[in-house]
Amino acid sequence: MKRQLETCFSPALYEEEKHSESVVVVIDVLRASSAICAAFENGAASIIPVAGVEEAREYKSKGYLVAAERDGFVLDFADFGNSPFNFTAEKVRAKTIVYSTTNGTGIIKKASSAHTVVIGSFNNMKALTAWLLNCDRDAVLFAAGWKNRFNLEDSVCAGAFASFLLGSGLYTTVCDSTLAAADLWTLASPDLPGYIEKAAQRSRLREKKLDDCLEYCLTMDVTEKIPVVRNGILVTL
Amino acid sequence: MKRQLETCFSPALYEEEKHSESVVVVIDVLRASSAICAAFENGAASIIPVAGVEEAREYKSKGYLVAAERDGFVLDFADFGNSPFNFTAEKVRAKTIVYSTTNGTGIIKKASSAHTVVIGSFNNMKALTAWLLNCDRDAVLFAAGWKNRFNLEDSVCAGAFASFLLGSGLYTTVCDSTLAAADLWTLASPDLPGYIEKAAQRSRLREKKLDDCLEYCLTMDVTEKIPVVRNGILVTL
């Protein structure tokens, strides 16, 4: 029997009770997913996702390396923020990082009732797709969106995963979100940075001069790392 | 200043507090929006939307004409269900109809805090677009979806409205959902029935043999009627 593929465009649409036996792929392209993949590519040992600022501050006081931002800006007590360029080998190799973002870490917690939660981005698309194809479970592509709204970059990334997974013949779908995402990927794929130019988050990052990493975040297959949540902590498969 | 256009893909994503000064276009293509437009095209005087089955039953006992279905099936006490083909001139001319559907009427209530709530479908697209262009307010395209999920047919219909409204130059958007909807319309418009063939609701209607009205629901500009909510009751503008 073919595995079912579903897509969720916003945390407000996530149906926790449906996915306890599924693999959930959390996608927050600009920038949490891309940053987490970069951290592991550069040798991080593990990442502790925390939703709240105070929790992050407590970890800092205990001596942890802390990445924390709100609305794109680094919090004053943190070591660095949410750009994948912050997670250099020099800073993160063999370290445990405490990571709090506006959006991404809350979603990882929301997905935690699933069988397995992995982090997906354009950066690890080929490796993660190959792993999913070997994993005999239904899958959910969970686009983080922005403040509970649909966003383009995460939906298009979900659509890329959907296209590859459905194209394999191992998955099928009865989910309109999955079909729409795949269609958006079809439109976007000939010129992904050009397509994402119109996205709201692209404008927000530009206004805050945080868009230096945009091209990187939209580059496919720069790492083979697959971040996975184990006992609430991110490690690699 | 240009008016803002937003799109909402599901009742679970509707932000009531944001839209008190906006016109909200409720879109439930298969089949509530299309049926409501058909009722007015065929001379109905007004439609009382009710969310609950018991409320509909009470109206029936008072002698009202009642259209009521759940999951596509006509309720036993009702005069007819949710197909636009039920709302013939013979049955509805000059009548007040009480109307309860699985999805559509609940959404009309949800949108009721907006400045104005109108009903949009492919059937009244040109007339409603022309009216919106003359109405100096921000607009929200509210796709009904299905059981709080995104669906293709309502999103594509929202995208058609979005394309026409943005194309006029009178509206602008910073809403990724609007951009995605417009892109889906671009993909769907050369062969709308062909595109909607893959939608989940299309399959559900086929399984229940309720798909005789599909072609009609996807036909543009069969009526110039614009249903509007006034004091909780649908009339025409």
User: Which residues of chain B does A177 touch, with a Cβ-Cβ cutoff of 8 Å?
Assistant: 149-150
> With an 8 Å Cβ cutoff, is A175 touching chain B?
yes
> With an 8 Å Cβ cutoff, is B147 touching chain A?
no
User: b/e map of B106-135 (b: 16 or more CB within 10 Å)?
Assistant: bbbebbeebebbbbbbbbbbebbbebbbeb
pLDDT at B52: 85
Q: Would you say residue B233 has pLDDT above 80?
A: yes
Q: What is the DSSP string of B45-85?
A: -EEEE--SHHHHHHHHHTT-EEEEEETTEE-TTSSB-S-GG
> With an 8 Å Cβ cutoff, is B235 touching chain A?
no
Cβ atoms of residues B68 and B81 within 8 Å: yes
| Contacts A–B by Cβ distance under 8 A | 71
Q: For B130-167, what is each residue's pLDDT tens digit? A: 999 999 999 999 999 999 999 999 999 999 999 999 99
Summary mean pLDDT of chain A? 94
CA–CA min distance A152, chain B (Å): 6
pLDDT at A108: 85
Pick from A13, A150, A198: CB nearest B177: A150
Q: For B192-207, what is each residue's pLDDT tens digit? A: 999 999 999 999 999 9
d(CA B28, CA B122): 10
Which residue has 């001069």 as its token pair?
A209
Cβ atoms of residues B151 and B68 within 8 Å: no
Q: Summarize the confidence of residues B34-50 as an average pLDDT.
A: 96
A152: confidence class by pLDDT, cuts 50, 70, 90 = very high
d(CA B77, CA B63): 12
d(CA B187, CA B201): 19
Residues 127-146 of A with CB under 8 A from B: 146
pLDDT at B109: 81
User: Which residues of chain A does B187 touch, with a Cβ-Cβ cutoff of 8 Å?
Assistant: 183, 186-187
The CATH architecture annotation of domain A3-236 reads Alpha-Beta Complex (3.90)
pLDDT at B126: 98
Q: Summarize the confidence of residues A76-103 as an average pLDDT.
A: 92
Class of residue A6 by CB neighbours under 10 A (exposed 0-12, middle 13-18, buried 19+): buried
Q: Would you say residue B106 has pLDDT above 90?
A: no
Provide, rounded to the nearest whole percent, the portion of chain B with pLDDT above 70. 100
d(CA A112, CA A120): 15
Summary mean pLDDT of chain B? 94
In this structure, the number of other CB atoms found within 10 A of the CB of residue B23 comes to: 22
Nearest chain A residue to B199, by CA: A176
Q: What is the DSSP string of A83-104?
A: -GGG--HHHHTT-EEEEE-SSH
Q: DSSP character for B142?
A: E
Least trusted range by pLDDT, from A130-144, A169-183, B32-46, B51-65: B51-65
Residue A69: left (phi > 0), alpha (psi -120 to 50), or beta? Answer: beta
Q: Summarize the confidence of residues A116-141 as an average pLDDT.
A: 97
pLDDT at A223: 98
Q: Across the interface, do B13 and A150 touch by the CB < 8 Å criterion?
A: yes
The model's pTM: 0.95
d(CA A57, CA A64): 10
**How many residues does the structure list for chain B?**
237
Q: Summarize the confidence of residues B70-90 as an average pLDDT.
A: 90
Q: For A57, phi and psi rounded to 5 degrees?
A: -65, -40
Q: Would you say residue A103 has pLDDT above 80?
A: no
User: Which residues of chain A does B184 touch, with a Cβ-Cβ cutoff of 8 Å?
Assistant: 180, 183-184
Q: Would you say residue A106 has pLDDT above 80?
A: no
